[in-house]
Structure 1
């Protein structure tokens, strides 16, 4: 029996295959392309098979959205399982995935059946939790328009700060030109970016400790504007397991000193491919009560 509504997202959400299956959420893989031309579909198996994290240290890597044909195939498959589908793609300021999906959803075949939620904050834990929140709203039996409105508000109230590990790599990927990352990289300065519709420089320093102090000061200001209690907030520390021990030790020491309540989550493979192994960030999600 077909469901009324289901959720579809992409691999930037970092669902494991088992998590996606358990939550009945479809995952469209993005692509990671090596300098030697190898095209790696962003799945757990392929990341291991093609030694992604080792290759990031050896050669330039870039990413690509899912192809038009791949997206159409996933849309058709999803519609065999439900009458309507909400697709939550990676943030539109990180990829053109959302724009491509919107153009496909406008076709007669998918009109009023596929709903694309375009946001600027969908990545990593923020994208994953947005999809899970969508599932909860579906279970409540809400109309799809109400669900989309609530998901959009949830995304707008999400806070995200990103610290690229390799600014030169980040700049080559086209993600940091407006932030003058080439100059900053030359000076060997770390840069913290407040993510949003227009990513902005939040801090710059030679020392990670200074970056962390600035990020948490700004997070408190952001939470105050949203009328949320920072002390009760659940903070996600996002990184990848290949991040250097030195960087991790500095971050863990800071979090412990500040008695920070946090959970760890995985930095998306496509973000690491663009920004380097030492890339990390912090995400605060809104309350859903």
Structure 2
């Protein structure tokens, strides 16, 4: 059985990355002032100057791919593959996963598409997809094993989101209980552990102190058995990224820098950054070998 893997653009996966042959991407939508609707693709971001638009005071929101767009992508992939494994943005960030379950509950997709149930987000989905590709290349076709692998990675992954604007994040309706409790803290920054139930990691007035608290939480959970990824976009303040990188280097903490999907700063502010830690023995060889 030939199996393909579908991600959405929130994963920050770039077609062909890590020499992948089996992964495809479904773009999500970036919306300005409830009127202008743009696909989250590199071409659209560049042509419409969305990296600068994210800094504006205009109302910004996101939208899942429509059922029609999803069906078109499924149809396209099923011409090439016997089966699709779909790893969607999680339910606490979007309705995309619910839409995928609905669409795949009926013919012609029932039995031909497997939607993975999980609560991971951002680039962690890319690493999971690459792990799935490694499994497929090793001859694994038992679909239940892919769900088990997703659950294993979710239980051994840590995503810390550091939003630069809690007000815009709250307006997006994400993690309301955590965010609303923090809105009164005007000048402080907060690190949020994103998962099935997002929770506060720490609060500080400086990024250095905040990253220290975040790394402390990661090492407490994983000791030194994790690989760390620092995620941000190029438009993030150089002062912020320098502070974070200087802390990591001064404490001899190895990390890989990767791009963050525009979906996250679109909701959480233009200077939003994230840290992801995943246990080393769960990552695919292609990611572990990356320098």
TM-score by length of 2: 0.91
- Calculate the aligned-residue CA RMSD, in Å: 1.8
Aligned to 2:277: 284
- Work out the CA distance in 2 between the residues paired with 1:41 and 1:267: 16
What is aligned with 2:210? Answer: 211
Q: Which residue in 1 is equivalent to 2:196?
A: 197
How many angstroms does 1:139 deviate by?
A: 1.0
- The yes-or-no answer on 1:74 pairing with 2:73 is yes
Match of 2:124 in 1: 126
- Residue 185 (structure 1) shift: 5.6
Q: Pick the structure with more helix per residue.
A: 1
Question: What's the offset of the Cα at 1:205?
Answer: 1.6
CA contact (8 A) 2:7 2:23 kept: yes
For residues 120 and 138 of structure 1, the distance between their equivalents in structure 2, rounded to whole angstroms, comes to 22
- Give the unaligned 5+ runs of structure 2: 284-291
SS at match of 2:173: coil
1:237–1:281 CA contact under 8 A, matched in 2: yes
Q: What's the TM-score once normalised by structure 1's chain length? A: 0.91
Could you give the per-residue CA deviations for residues 152-184 of structure 1, whole angstroms, max 9, x where no partner exists?
A: 312332111110011111111111421244753
- Of 44, 49, 59, which aligns to 1:51? 49
Q: CA deviation at 1:26?
A: 1.3
Taking the TM superposition and a 5 Å limit, the aligned residue runs for 1:203-282 are 203-223=202-222, 229-230=223-224, 232-282=225-275
**Do the aligned residues in 2 keep the contact of 1:33 with 1:39 (CA within 8 Å)?**
yes
Unaligned runs of 5+ in 1: 224-228
How far off is 1:54 after superposition?
1.0
Q: How many residues align?
A: 280
1:60 positional shift: 2.3
The aligned runs of 1:34-113 (5 Å cut-off) are: 34-35=32-33, 37-58=35-56, 59-113=58-112
Does structure 1 retain, via aligned residues, the 8 Å contact 2:166–2:179? no
